[in-house]
Structure 1
Amino acid sequence: MTQGDWQHDVLRELRQDAAAGEPPAHDQPGLSPSTAPAASTATPIEPRGDLPARSAGPFPQAGQGSQQPAVPAAHHPQLPIVTPESMRTIDPRLARAMGHPLQGDSMARRSGRSLRKLTASASQEVAEETRLARLVQQPVTTGRVIAVTSIRGGVGKTTTSALLARTFNHYRHDPVLALEADAALGTLPVRLGAESVRWTCRELAQILTPSMQLTDVTGYLVPVADGGWLLPASQGRVGAPLGTPTYRTVSLSLRRYFAVTVVDCETLPGEVARTAMDTAHARVVVAPMTAEGVGGTRVVLDWLARLPHSALATTVVALTANSPDMTLDLKAATAHLRETGVTVVALPYDRHLAQGGPIHTAQLGQATRRAATSLAAEAMERAVRVR
């Protein structure tokens, strides 16, 4: 597919929404070929040190944009554009009560790992890290969207989304976006370490135009400390939830600027979650390591089997442990889910993640970092299958 055809496809989808009674936030007269990402022939970079390096991609690099960009009047002359106020993601009084971030691994586990390194060969571990890095770094010629959802809240959906976004930012040099499509009180900005948010999906949908460059768009996004960008669904206040028309407008418009977009969806069976799952290139369903969680997720997988675009073939299940003393037989649970044809990746219990608050990659346990890389690799491998 040519770059021009891809852009016209995006334009056609937005116009179809308008014809169906879901008007996009702007009338798009056409898409400029100059804004499309060029095809890439880059090959993955060999790993450096204990973590593989990131690879260059076809998408341009962007500097950190201002959080108070000037809104071009030509974008929407008939509507007054009011710059929203900046809102802190965590009350300063609560921030002081959070304490210092914990190490994901205990001291005993870190010491035991050091001793094992003295007797075990590291060649297999390095080879596996290199393999996973190559999958995460796969070059793309069009933006790939990976939607993350779950059947209920509190199972680690947002934490998994943040881990995926940080993993892609670590391994890739092209732009990566974390898009929050959760309810009004989503916590993705907190998990990604954003101190404040300003522009949200609702406001950005009103000013996006095809003529905007990547540097224009990033002026309205939140720069993430470890790299990449964030667009929140709200400012953390109770209000009208994100609607499907707004989500479609923002996701379809922004994906041409970013190599990978990780969408933190609302829980199923929400309308936005169903739309995101149906239109994404790859899907991650997060389930707790409990009998109820695995059983409910199996029902969701059976539903995905009835969706178009070979939904199951592009779906990965992330099994999360919220306690160090999980009793579920992981092997049996994984086999039950794999009967549908999906891949299952287990995310182990991690003290740093269980603590809440911003995720610091350096504080994560080694098994957690390895599992997050494996999950990102599996999701990316499925995302590039979609043409």
Structure 2
Amino acid sequence: MTEGGDWQRDVLRELADTPAAPASTSPPMPPAPVDPRLPSPPPQPASPTRPVPRGTRDPRLPLTTPESVPTVDPRLAHALGRPQHGDSLTQRTGRSLRRLTTSAGQDVAEQTHLATELQRPVTTGRIIAVTSIRGGVGKSTVSALLGRTFNHYRHDPVLTLEADAALGTLPVRMGAESVRWSCADLAQILTPAMQLTDVTGYLVPVADGGWLLPAGQGRVGAPMDVRTYRTVTLALRRYFAVTVVDCESLPGDVARTAMDTAHARVVVAPMTAEGVNGTRQVLNWLAQLPHAALASTAVALSASSPDTTLDEKTAAAHLREAGVAVVSLPYDRHLAQGGPIHTVMLGQATRDAAVRLAAEAMHRAVRVR
């Protein structure tokens, strides 16, 4: 794929089946005669069930295929319960009535603008890194929302990559029932000769479109290192228009590397006074980086409780002083429930906020670099 050519057309062409080789016009060669006095040749070993991509490694070297591991223990799967709507029945009914009595012209114009931002053409893959000052503030949830939003609006390949600790929740939030290949596994076999169809054989397909690459198999183990992260992201960005990276929390080494090298950044800030204050310190650090890191950063101000007492306008204004866009993610019952995210079950305000946040990130990823 050349950077000056039609990058999207090249990628989509690789998704199509490889055409069969043309039949030869020469007559077939007759089989060689077999001497009955010679011993029979030894049986050939059966070919592996998993095809090895072209040019990935010496086939004589053993390759241990990891086993598929469920993202949620089957004994706990029933404990998730039925997913509930982010909006109550009263809210959904009231919204339907308002649509019948108000003009939709302004909403259509805004949605058209956001869709244009989300569908911006790219010549090379864009990486959007998502992080936070600490765990448990909704970083993986925001990453999953961004991944699903890009999958919905874009027609080229989108990847959601987990670069968090081994026990991250991104695969569950993306709706993956099981995981097999991890970033560390893929880093050992990626080569420039691989095509998109080779790469996607190691990824988890997402129900709404796109692919997922987990950091591990849900077991306690060594966290991802910077070398693995660089190897995987540099190799995969040529196949995917957008890669959303769910990073570890700051100040981890991988998170710092991702924030320094990504095309756009999303910092998830909890809607608390200490959370906003700590996020402002992260923004001050980004402002000191040698390139325009702050100009390509957006903040997701996330509410994890319906009883948040912090004044949202004051918190957003404090963060905007650093020169970043701020998008508020309201409390959503569906997200608070945990488990897989079903887009149709999200509250309307949550869906709108996810689209705005994705548009802000994409605008910065294309504009700044």
Q: Per-residue deviation at 1:309?
A: 1.9
Indicate the SS of the match to 2:80.
coil
Unaligned runs of 5+ in 1: 1-32, 41-55
**Are residue 368 (structure 1) and residue 335 (structure 2) matched?**
no
Q: How does 1:63-142 map to 2 (within 5 A)?
A: 69-72=50-53, 74-77=55-58, 79-142=61-124
Equivalent in the alignment of 1:43: none
* Distance in 1, Cα, partners of 2:350 & 2:147: 14
Unaligned runs of 5+ in 2: 18-48
Indicate the SS of the match to 1:250.
helix
Letter matched to residue 6 of structure 2: A
Indicate the SS of the match to 1:283.
strand
Q: How does 1:173-188 map to 2 (within 5 A)?
A: 173-188=155-170
**Are residue 353 (structure 1) and residue 318 (structure 2) matched?**
no
**Are residue 337 (structure 1) and residue 304 (structure 2) matched?**
no
* Distance in 2, Cα, partners of 1:349 & 1:38: 44
The CA deviation string for residues 215-250 of structure 1, in whole angstroms up to 9 with x for no partner, is 010000000011000000000001111111001000
Q: Structure 1: which 4+ aligned runs deviate by more than 6 Å?
A: none
Letter matched to residue 253 of structure 1: A
* Distance in 1, Cα, partners of 2:53 & 2:4: 23
Q: How does 1:49-68 map to 2 (within 5 A)?
A: 59-60=11-12, 62=15
| Shift in CA distance, 102/57, structure 1 to aligned 2, threshold 3 Å | farther
Kept in 2, the 8 Å contact 1:221–1:229? The answer is yes
Q: Per-residue deviation at 1:39?
A: 3.5
* Distance in 1, Cα, partners of 2:215 & 2:279: 25
Indicate the SS of the match to 2:368.
coil
User: For structure 1, which segment, 348-357 or 74-83, has the greater mean C-alpha deviation from structure 2 after superposition?
Assistant: 74-83
Letter matched to residue 276 of structure 1: A
Letter matched to residue 76 of structure 1: R
Kept in 1, the 8 Å contact 2:53–2:198? The answer is no
* Distance in 2, Cα, partners of 1:259 & 1:37: 15
Q: Per-residue deviation at 1:126?
A: 1.1
Q: How well do the aligned residues superpose, as a CA RMSD in angstroms?
A: 1.7
Letter matched to residue 160 of structure 1: V
| Shift in CA distance, 82/356, structure 1 to aligned 2, threshold 3 Å | same
User: For structure 1, which segment, 68-77 or 273-282, has the greater mean C-alpha deviation from structure 2 after superposition?
Assistant: 68-77
TM-score (norm 1): 0.84
**Are residue 299 (structure 1) and residue 299 (structure 2) matched?**
no
Indicate the SS of the match to 2:124.
coil
Letter matched to residue 223 of structure 1: P
- Tell me which structure has the larger Cα radius of gyration: 2
Equivalent in the alignment of 1:9: none
Equivalent in the alignment of 1:290: 272
**Are residue 193 (structure 1) and residue 169 (structure 2) matched?**
no
Kept in 2, the 8 Å contact 1:247–1:272? The answer is yes
Indicate the SS of the match to 1:362.
helix
Indicate the SS of the match to 1:199.
coil
| Shift in CA distance, 76/137, structure 1 to aligned 2, threshold 3 Å | same
Equivalent in the alignment of 2:37: none
Equivalent in the alignment of 1:314: 296
| Matched length | 336
Kept in 2, the 8 Å contact 1:37–1:257? The answer is no
Indicate the SS of the match to 2:310.
coil
Indicate the SS of the match to 1:146.
strand
* Distance in 1, Cα, partners of 2:53 & 2:343: 37
* Distance in 1, Cα, partners of 2:145 & 2:301: 14
| Shift in CA distance, 163/57, structure 1 to aligned 2, threshold 3 Å | farther
Letter matched to residue 39 of structure 1: D
**Are residue 205 (structure 1) and residue 187 (structure 2) matched?**
yes
* Distance in 2, Cα, partners of 1:296 & 1:211: 44
* Distance in 1, Cα, partners of 2:162 & 2:5: 27
Indicate the SS of the match to 1:317.
strand
Q: Per-residue deviation at 1:72?
A: 4.2
Indicate the SS of the match to 1:149.
strand
Indicate the SS of the match to 2:116.
helix
Equivalent in the alignment of 1:39: 6
Q: Per-residue deviation at 1:76?
A: 2.4
- Percent identical among aligned pairs is 73
* Distance in 2, Cα, partners of 1:69 & 1:268: 38
| Shift in CA distance, 58/70, structure 1 to aligned 2, threshold 3 Å | closer
